[in-house]
Structure 1
């Protein structure tokens, strides 16, 4: 296989889209639309830049570097072992996969159960056992993911979302409301920050191994063509994500007449009830379930391939079993408990991933051997640990100190330290070059 045919490109793009598109991606755009109101297009521009742009750039960065490990090695070999491990654990069995299972129960099953059963831990246990058995079955054969995602799960998900959009045209939701809060002052910036919260840039770094292995299984061995094909798949997935985000955002903006919703899930439920009546809850439950399944399958597959390559010993199918069982157990802690931990943990890791992606994309100006990788990632990591300790260990007692940093109140307090670290790294590069030139000159004069 030397290059992707149009059909293969479409199927692999569908697969990558499904791996990205989880329940969180369903919730954020309509809520953004509700809050942005008449400024929804400006807000969506910012949202797409971060919620689509960063993940696709992540795929490109991994493709250009050759692998996530090679990209992380530019900081330090020890970092290249620790940071990917933390990401795979965090976005895998410790947080993201169990969260998907819990959210699928909350949105896909709980609305149809009596309150007594919803409150019972047995209901969640039974549901998550079935949920992760399905994830286990789909994850056993990663070589078949292209067909299963591209021909089954993704078309089903897209068809359901298309059904909702068409119905919203036939039965309009209402008039667009006025922008509220920060959306009125700076809709593009606020939309960008909302997209940042999807955390898909982390997923991009680990999904690269699945796409690369899928292409290799199809006979593509040339590394340059492999990278080019990964980028093509990323662009295809990015296009689908953009279309869905725009559709959901516009629908949310036109739902002002349905009343103020506290979050995206509540808004979606209100919209579905308005459009489809009682059956809307069923359609929404199916959409959430399929989206959570897609993300869980993608994450279990990625993590199993990574841990099998890292530790050996246990075969791939053994890791699939271990991860599904662990994720099922953690999922039974409940969605609220998982979210309380996941938000600060992922928030500490995410800025490091962003800097790795951005640095990889400017390799022409900042080479892989530059001190900038070490200084920038080191400073951002220290900031992330401090922010994490502030949230989980000291009950936000450091808020006043950290709030002195520019952009901290909008979740980007790491930006200014990162820029300073970039400047320091460049100065160290200049010092190193000057030192080498001095040594070379000295050796020539002796």
Structure 2
């Protein structure tokens, strides 16, 4: 029975960490820190739940069922499970997350050096996705290319930035914005959605499992154990990165008080702290972080749709990379504007699916319980998403519990869970009496 050596387990953990840390992970914490001010650590607690806790739990849940999202979603039926998987893969693949890696790395790291405009973005995205294509053609080598080479470089760059945030703060902590003064925890919780890490974990699960199997490990209990260890290593790394970036943002009021996004905060801080080499350092850091994530997303999406459609893997890699290239040229602002309502709508049912996957032993029929709760979470998640899109909402929906915090789905989902559990017990008792 093949087992992984210590260095392979460490490389697997580094690979998992590197797959998660992309554009959103680097640009969202600084703006949260800046806007939260003295409430930064309360906001950070909410952020870490959705940006670290949920992704790690999702990796563990997927490892238990062999890495495939289809197996995790089996309680809701094949058709609904396939639809959910397709939506998640498209959202974190060619529609939003993969194109965003190119636009963020360009606008934050490259545009300050070469200038903005459609042509520089197009030329950069062509080179960027050519590299993504090249690495993604060989998914069996991810543990070597990412875990042993790209990930350590990425970690080193993040470590330099993180150490600087604590050792050389730009200034004192400033005042909080009204939103964070009123509800710092929930604001951080919702901002954690924007990293897309829970959806990414649903997609990366099969990549992590396949990386383990590429080393000849086939025993299910060993695959699960190594995937859990990799998830924990990645989670620890994410916490360290986020804490340092929160600190960086909180201390940047003196140099970036008017910043509208985390990219501006980072750019200002790096320029002040690292001088003339700051822009080059930031360009390399963001480009490397985004490239690794784009490779992981492209591999995962191509592998999933190859199984679903029976199409050649390499042909799908070309199609996904090409489509992502086109979408990336729409620009970062437009991508974020469209993605926020969609993510707000689809995150709640995914959270429910992962959370309830650990509780299947508590009820007689998983489909009776999981399906209704996910459906209610989706319905109220859509309400939150439409509100984020700026559409007019009926007054009754505006006053739902936790609606102001962007979590109108939570209370209805818990109530539905309680009712579904009661129905499951009643049906179970009836079945026993008939037997």
Whether TM exceeds 0.5 here: the answer is yes
- The answer on whether the counterparts of 1:171 and 1:275 sit within 8 Å (CA) in structure 2 is yes
Task: Quote the residue 2:149 is aligned against.
Answer: 152
Structure 1 gaps, min length 5: 441-446
Q: Could you tell which deviates more after superposition, 177-186 or 151-160? A: 177-186
Give distance in 2, aligned partners of 1:222 and 1:367: 29
Task: Quote the residue 2:61 is aligned against.
Answer: 61
Task: Quote the residue 2:395 is aligned against.
Answer: 400
Cα 1:103–1:427 shift into 2, 3 Å: same
TM-score by length of 1: 0.91
Identify which of 412, 415, 418 aligns with 1:417: 412
Deviation (angstroms), 1:238: 0.5
- The answer on whether the counterparts of 2:29 and 2:242 sit within 8 Å (CA) in structure 1 is yes
TM-score by length of 2: 0.93
Task: Quote the residue 2:211 is aligned against.
Answer: 214
Task: Quote the residue 1:374 is aligned against.
Answer: 371
Give distance in 2, aligned partners of 1:241 and 1:169: 16
CA shift digits 1:383-412 (9 cap, x unpaired):
3345556666xx612253421211122211
Give distance in 2, aligned partners of 1:102 and 1:271: 20
Cα 1:434–1:168 shift into 2, 3 Å: closer
- The answer on whether the counterparts of 2:169 and 2:248 sit within 8 Å (CA) in structure 1 is no
Give distance in 2, aligned partners of 1:55 and 1:372: 23
- Aligned pairs for 1:60-139 (under 5 A) are 60-66=60-66, 67-114=68-115, 118-119=116-117, 121-139=118-136
Give distance in 1, aligned partners of 2:64 and 2:353: 12
Deviation (angstroms), 1:438: 2.8
Deviation (angstroms), 1:226: 1.0
Structure 2 gaps, min length 5: none
Give distance in 2, aligned partners of 1:259 and 1:341: 26
Q: Could you tell which deviates more after superposition, 299-308 or 343-352? A: 343-352
1:336 aligns with 2:326: no
Task: Quote the residue 1:268 is aligned against.
Answer: 266
Deviation (angstroms), 1:41: 3.1
Give distance in 1, aligned partners of 2:275 and 2:396: 50
SS of 2:73's equivalent in the other structure is helix
Task: Quote the residue 1:4 is aligned against.
Answer: 4
Task: Quote the residue 2:16 is aligned against.
Answer: 16
Identify which of 254, 257, 262 aligns with 1:257: 254
Q: Name the larger-Rg structure.
A: 1
Cα 1:426–1:336 shift into 2, 3 Å: same
- The answer on whether the counterparts of 1:61 and 1:357 sit within 8 Å (CA) in structure 2 is yes
CA shift digits 1:322-348 (9 cap, x unpaired):
111111112122222222221111221
Cα 1:351–1:178 shift into 2, 3 Å: same
Task: Quote the residue 1:277 is aligned against.
Answer: 275
Give distance in 1, aligned partners of 2:336 and 2:36: 25
